[in-house]
Amino acid sequence: MRRAADVRETTSPARAIGGGGPPRFVVLVANAKGGCGKTTLATNLASYLAAQGQTVSLLDLDPLQSSASWVRRREQLGRHDIHGLSLKLDAYTTYGRLTEVVNQAHGYLIIDSPGGLDGPLLDHVLRVAQVVLVPVLPSPIDIRAATRFLQAVMLSPCYRRRPRRLAVVANRTRARTRMYEQLRQFLTSLKIPYLATLRDTQLYTQAAGEGGGIIDMPVQRAAEDIQHWRRIAEWLEVQRHLLRALPGFHG
């Protein structure tokens, strides 16, 4: 059975733009609200980038350590293409301690952050990130929570000193629903890129149980979903290229 990871030409993977990127490109996956799919986004992005031959680390800051458990499961099955890092973020975590862990990564570093992220801790993780991806569920409660979180990000001291690129990924969404249209209007009003709509499918759960991502599922079942991840990865490569040219950018 052919799997999605074996059909890289079919999925048109994102490629590095130009020769030699920065030593580290940090993608923060964040939303103050729990249960919106941060771990799903972080683990699937990590597995997709690894399948394209990128050097990938995955840092789990959530006390539940779901991403760290996923990496361990992946390694138990003989896959060592993602470097797992762990730090349980709490009120006593300093920026210096966070950077010690971040500095262990090269290439792409995907950060899976905990719910309830705000105040100084939000500022700490924003300081180490170049891009922020915000997963949003298409419900009134989740949209309001995402609005508050995006406002908190844009008002944080770190963001006001140097704005980060923000983008939204809709999670567990069914097309042609009224809530789907409200979500699109919400994103348009904020003028923040809306990268993809992840389907409400059990494929993500099945893949996670095997320490994998959607890229590892049979291609005939996951082809539609893989296109969304291709768009996310291509957008990230564009941001990586643009940020490389900024004065004072050290990766």
In this prediction, residue 5 has a pLDDT band, given cuts at 50, 70 and 90, of very low
Dihedral sign, Cα of residue 67, residue 70, residue 75, residue 76: positive
Q: Which of 158, 132, 169, 162 lies closest to 27, judged by CA?
A: 132
How many CA atoms lie less than 13 Å away from 169 in the CB half-sphere?
A: 32
Whether residue 72 is predicted with pLDDT greater than 60 in this model: the reply is yes
Indicate whether 4 pLDDT > 80.
no
- Segment 194-216 shows an average pLDDT of 91
Per-residue pLDDT for 26 more than 80?
yes
- The DSSP secondary structure of the chain, one letter per residue, reads --BGGG-HHHH------SS---SEEEEEE--SSTTSSHHHHHHHHHHHHHHTT--EEEEE-STT-HHHHHHHHHHHTT---EEEEE----TT--HHHHHHHHTT--EEEEEEPPTT--HHHHHHHHHH-SEEEEEE-SSHHHHHHHHHHHHHHHHSHHHHHSPPEEEEEEEEE-TTSHHHHHHHHHHHHHT--EEEEEE--THHHHHHHTT--GGGSBHHHHHHHHHHHHHHHHHHHHHHHHHHTSTT---
pLDDT of residue 248: 54
% of the chain with per-residue pLDDT over 70: 86
Does pLDDT of 20 surpass 80?
Answer: no
pLDDT of residue 141: 87
Residue 175's pLDDT is 56
Q: What is the pLDDT of residues 146-200, one digit of tens each?
A: 888 999 999 999 999 999 999 999 887 665 567 667 777 777 887 889 898 898 8
Query: Mean of the per-residue pLDDT values for the chain?
Result: 86
Instruction: Please say whether the beta carbons of 8 and 52 come within 8 A.
Output: yes
Domain architecture of the chain: domains with CATH:
30-244 (3.40.50.300)
**In which band, very low, low, confident or very high, does the pLDDT at 10 lie, cut at 50, 70 and 90?**
very low
